[in-house]
Amino acid sequence: MDTESPNFTQPAEASGSLLEGCGLGCACQAVFFLLGLAAAYSAANRLTTLLWTGWGFTQWIALIPLIFQQRAKGHPKTVQGILISGFLGMLLSSACAAMVLSR
């Protein structure tokens, strides 16, 4: 009876990096920022103003699918980078919105 010895090699490390995640998050935020800017200039109404000042929250429309995609690929560090850039973007947006709306 032939029996093969079990393979005890180390599992492959998860690919992806924190820096890659931050870069992906920043790129998505930049695209979303430009889309928001285009929407603000095309239709100057109250809804556009609210979306523009709430950019930090609406950016998650683009980031959440990216997070799920990277998690499915097995890139946990990339997901952490996307989350970091998303939260920093939300904090920055909240600070800017507070300055604009406090006038």
What mean pLDDT, rounded, does the chain reach? Answer: 77
Whole-number Cα distances in Å, 102 to 56, 61, 83, 89:
17, 26, 28, 20
Measured between alpha carbons, how far is 70 from 52 in angstroms, rounded to an integer? 27
- The residue ranges of every structural domain in the chain are 18-101
72-74-78 Cα angle (round to 5) = 100
pTM for the whole thing? 0.70
39-81: pLDDT as tens digits: 667 766 666 666 666 667 778 888 899 999 999 999 999 999 9
Which segment of 1-5, 10-14, 71-75, 78-82 scores lowest on mean pLDDT?
A: 10-14
